[in-house]
């Protein structure tokens, strides 16, 4: 390593996903090495991200295991001490660097990294005789034993061995290192305001606040604060389709506040604490959205007092025809979140009710791509519910839904009502 005299800070992070702007760091490990190749310091910590930990089957970090761990802003100064005035080293360094830069920005600090070295990029220059450039594969090539893949502390130990072997090979070949300069990034505000989602009218009365362990009910007033893992517009559209009243502010009438950072100090969070409004995270909200209970519709406006008690019905030509899906409750299966939400909105426009669960009130099913694999399909077939392709919504029949029990057609079991 003396052929490339530098102080090195080896880094590995485990994250809840792949997008730094949306996902969070779950664990971090750092190992510092001097110009003589000797280890000068070590640091590792699990972190409480305040959100769903994502692919637990990959990193093994469950929400229960992370509970009680510090938040990133609580260890940011320790991490900065290890990185300051050293070359940051990681395997696929852009990934680790981007996540750290985002976490430091959330903490209101600058990531103190001026240069970084990617061992993946370095080995692409070296072209070792390995089947791929994964960290574990390169570790075996350089004689380093990997004990626990996707464990941040073990990965930095393995990374140290790969770095030593890679630098030795580069020195023999007389190669320069692919160092990447890291100019300071403009910090993003700790509280970022997502694009405002247009307010949609809610047809149901507010049933009050969410009870502990209880379900969501149509008409509940829901507010969201802080970052969400799912796009805010998609999340709002899904909740609105389910019959919830999505609000941009918090008041004493708010039923529940959704946030992934319960310790934040946003205006909505402060008002929710003052009013004693229930607070849940995004994962809980998404789970409750799968079973929203029916609410009470708003009563129609009463007639003016001066109106006569009895009024003659309007002439036949003035009577509005029934909407195509009047009296129907349509369940949409499959498709992406935006496409499914748009399809449910189309059902509502046609006068139907968009169902989010398979219940006895469902009269029709619309199948989007991938919907045929839904676990509810056997139950749908046993109920002999009409199953339609998406194009059915272009010209649905306005006749009342057919009685259950009619023999469906093969494959999609599409039948005329």
Output the furthest CA–CA distance in the chain (Å, rounded).
Answer: 100
- pLDDT-derived band at 305 (thresholds 50, 70, 90) equals low
**Range name among 225-234, 329-338, 351-360 with the lowest pLDDT average:** 225-234
3-class state of residue 184 by DSSP: coil
**Range name among 37-41, 251-255, 348-352 with the lowest pLDDT average:** 348-352
- pLDDT-derived band at 114 (thresholds 50, 70, 90) equals very high
pLDDT digits (tens, 9 = 90+) for 134-159: 999 999 999 998 877 767 788 899 99
Element (H, E) at 117: strand 115-118
**Range name among 86-95, 186-195, 207-216, 382-391 with the lowest pLDDT average:** 186-195
Name beta bridge partners: 32: 9, 41
The answer to pTM > 0.85 is no
Query: Across the chain, what does the average pLDDT equal?
Result: 84
Residue listed under structure tokens 């034993």:
145
The residues, any chain, with a CB within 8 Å of residue 354's CB and separated by 6 or more, are 241, 242, 329, 330, 332, 344, 345, 347, 348
Sort strands 115-118 and 179-181 into parallel, antiparallel or unpaired: antiparallel
Mean pLDDT of 166-184: 92
At 143 the pLDDT is 94
At 59 the pLDDT is 81
Whether residue 297 has pLDDT greater than 60: yes
- pLDDT-derived band at 328 (thresholds 50, 70, 90) equals confident
What distance in Å separates the CA atoms of residue 111 and residue 185, rounded to the nearest whole number?
8
Two tokens, residue 190: 């700790």
Mean pLDDT of 324-330: 85
Contact assessment for residue 241 and residue 344, using Cβ atoms and an 8 Å cutoff: yes
Mean pLDDT of 319-332: 75
């Amino acid at each position: 390593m003396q052929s490339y005299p530098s102080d090195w800070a080896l880094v590995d992070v485990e994250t809840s996903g792949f997008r730094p702007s949306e996902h969070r760091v779950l664990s971090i490990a750092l190992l510092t090495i001097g110009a003589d190749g000797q280890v000068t310091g070590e640091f590792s910590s699990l972190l409480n991200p305040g959100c769903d930990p994502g692919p637990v089957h990959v990193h093994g970090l469950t929400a229960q295991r992370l509970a009680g761990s510090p938040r990133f802003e609580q260890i940011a100064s320790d991490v900065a001490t290890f990185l300051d005035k050293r070359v940051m080293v990681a395997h696929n360094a852009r990934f680790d660097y981007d996540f750290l830069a985002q976490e430091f920005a959330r903490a209101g600090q600058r990531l103190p990294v001026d240069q970084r070295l990617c061992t993946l990029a370095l080995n692409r220059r070296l072209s070792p005789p390995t089947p791929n450039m994964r960290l574990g594969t390169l570790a075996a090539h350089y004689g380093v034993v990997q004990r626990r893949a996707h464990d941040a502390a073990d990965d930095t130990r393995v990374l140290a061995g790969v770095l030593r072997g890679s630098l030795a090979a580069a020195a023999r070949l007389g190669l320069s290192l692919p160092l990447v300069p890291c100019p300071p990034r403009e910090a993003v505000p700790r509280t970022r305001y997502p694009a405002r989602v247009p307010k949609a009218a809610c047809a149901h009365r507010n049933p009050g606040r969410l009870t502990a362990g209880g379900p969501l009910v149509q008409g509940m007033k829901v507010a969201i604060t802080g970052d969400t893992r799912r796009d805010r517009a998609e999340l709002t559209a899904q909740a609105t389709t389910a019959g919830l009243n999505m609000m941009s502010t918090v008041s004493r009438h708010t039923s529940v506040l959704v946030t992934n950072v319960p310790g934040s100090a946003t205006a909505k969070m402060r008002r929710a604490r003052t009013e004693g409004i229930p607070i849940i995270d995004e994962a809980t909200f998404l789970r409750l959205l799968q079973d929203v209970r029916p609410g009470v519709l708003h009563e129609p406006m009463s007639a003016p007092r001066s109106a006569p008690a009895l009024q003659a019905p309007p002439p036949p030509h003035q009577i509005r025809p029934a909407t195509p899906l009047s009296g129907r409750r349509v369940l949409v299966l499959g498709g992406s979140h935006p496409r499914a939400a748009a399809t449910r909105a189309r059902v509502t426009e046609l006068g139907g009710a968009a169902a989010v669960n398979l219940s006895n009130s469902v009269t029709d099913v619309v199948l989007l791509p991938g919907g045929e694999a839904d676990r509810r399909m056997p139950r749908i077939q046993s109920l002999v519910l009409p199953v339609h392709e998406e194009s059915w919504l272009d010209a649905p029949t306005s006749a009342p839904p057919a009685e259950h029990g009619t023999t469906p057609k093969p494959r999609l079991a599409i039948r005329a009502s």
